[in-house]
Homo-oligomer: A and B are copies of this chain.
């Protein structure tokens, strides 16, 4: 189990290669061959460190999402506005990664359970939004806040999708407007 330095550095190179490939050309560009090529590693070495290609992709996506979290400590200090801004930032800074994220969720459920993961992540996010909404409006019931959070997140997801079709779409403006109308 004790890791060697070499292995740790190789793992980092693989993750970096995957991240840059995904950012440049999405899932289509991040083939195993491309990842290994860019990381300067043979496939066998890759599989010594990761269980599958999906594993490293999931890791990169997760890290990117965590990186824009406005309240990583979960201290309960983020406002709805913060959360919406974080959402917008993720999509604007990592459009290809966002596409990967959605794409994997739409794939048929495989052994890795990407769809289930995605759903769990969404549910946690709904809770965060609902909590922030209640903090901003103390008359809101928990149920009602959850419903509103689902609505707002639904709208944000849809607008982000719209933007991925056409980068001329004023995503951030629409997103903020949706936030105003739905909370």
Contacts and interface: CB of A to CB of B under 8 A. Distances in A.
Chain B CB within 10 Å, residue with most, of A122, A154, A165, A177: A154
A118 B165 CA distance: 8
Contact of A162 (B28, B150, B165): B150
A47 to B, nearest CB: 25
Identical copies in the complex:
2
Contacts of A12: none
A179 B160 CA distance: 18
A90 interface: no
Interface of A: 25-26, 28, 99, 102-103, 105-106, 108, 115, 118-119, 122, 147, 150-151, 153-162, 164-166, 174, 177-178, 181-182
A56 to B, nearest CB: 20
A122 to B, nearest CB: 7
Interface residue SS majority, chain A: helix
B108 A106 contact: no
Contacts of A157: 157-158, 161-162
Given A108-B26, A181-B182, A182-B181, A174 B150 contact: yes
A181 B106 contact: no
Contacts of A108: 25-26, 28
